[in-house]
Amino acid sequence: MAWRKQMRARVLEEAWQLASEAGWDRVRVADLAQRAEVSRPSIYAEFGDRAGIGTALVHRETERFLLGVAEVLADHRDDVAAALEAGVHHALAEAARNPFIRAVVAATRGGTDALLPFLTSRPEPVFSRAWDLVAAWLGEVVPGAPRGRREETADIVVRLAVSHMLLPAVDPGEASVRVARAACAVLGTVGKGK
C-alpha cells in the first residue's frame, strides 16, 4: 500500500511538471512512466487512463489551491469585505504564480489544452469545492444572513474569480476589490461581517 501511494504521488508530480512545462496536450503516459520510474501498466492500473491522471491531478491541485484560500479567509474573519478581497487576491496571485495553473490558463486562451474540460465542463472538483468553501465560510462569519444570499454570494465570488483568472480585465488588486464589492452588495453587508 505504501508503494502504491508513493507511486501515485510520483506520477502526479511528474504529470504536474510536464503539464507546467509543455501543457497537458504533451503529457504522455509513456513519459510519465519513464520519469516516475514505474511501468505503464502500473499507471493504468492506478489511474485507469490518461484522463484519470488528469482528474487526479486536478483534484490534487484544487486541494492545495483551496487550502491557501481557506487560510486567507480564516485570517480575516472579522471583516467580510476585507476577507473576500484578500481571498480573491490570493487566488488570482496563486493562479499567476503557479506554473501548472498558468499553463492551463494560457492553453485556454489558445484553445488547445485538453485539461480544460476538467476545470470548466465538469463542476467537480474546482467549482463545487470552491463554492462549498466560500459558502461554508460565509455561514460561519455571517450566520444571520439569509442562506440564499450566502449561496448566491458564494456563486458570485467563485465565478468572478475564475473569470478574472481566465480573462483578466484589470489589475488583480482591482479585480479583488470589484469581486468583494459585488459579493457584499448581494450579501447585504459592507465591511465588518459579524
Give tens-digit pLDDT for 122-162: 555 678 889 999 999 999 999 999 999 999 999 999 999 98
Q: What mean pLDDT is predicted for residues 43-70?
A: 91
Distance, CA of 88 to CA of 193 (rounded, Å): 17
Q: Which residues contact 107 (CB under 8 A, 6 or more apart)?
A: 23, 24, 25, 113, 115, 116
pLDDT at site 117: 59
Scanning the structure block, which residue is given the C-alpha cell 476585507? 82
> 172 with 96: CB under 8 angstroms?
yes
Chain-centre distance for alpha carbon 10: 21
pLDDT at site 62: 86
Distance, CA of 46 to CA of 50 (rounded, Å): 11
Scanning the structure block, which residue is given the C-alpha cell 520519469? 35
pLDDT above 80 (res 104): no
pLDDT at site 108: 57
Record the pTM. Answer: 0.82
Scanning the structure block, which residue is given the C-alpha cell 478574472? 164
Distance, CA of 14 to CA of 121 (rounded, Å): 25
149 or 191, greater pLDDT: 149
pLDDT at site 193: 42
pLDDT above 80 (res 46): yes
pLDDT at site 166: 81
Of 185, 186, 179, whose CA–CA distance to 83 is shortest? Answer: 179
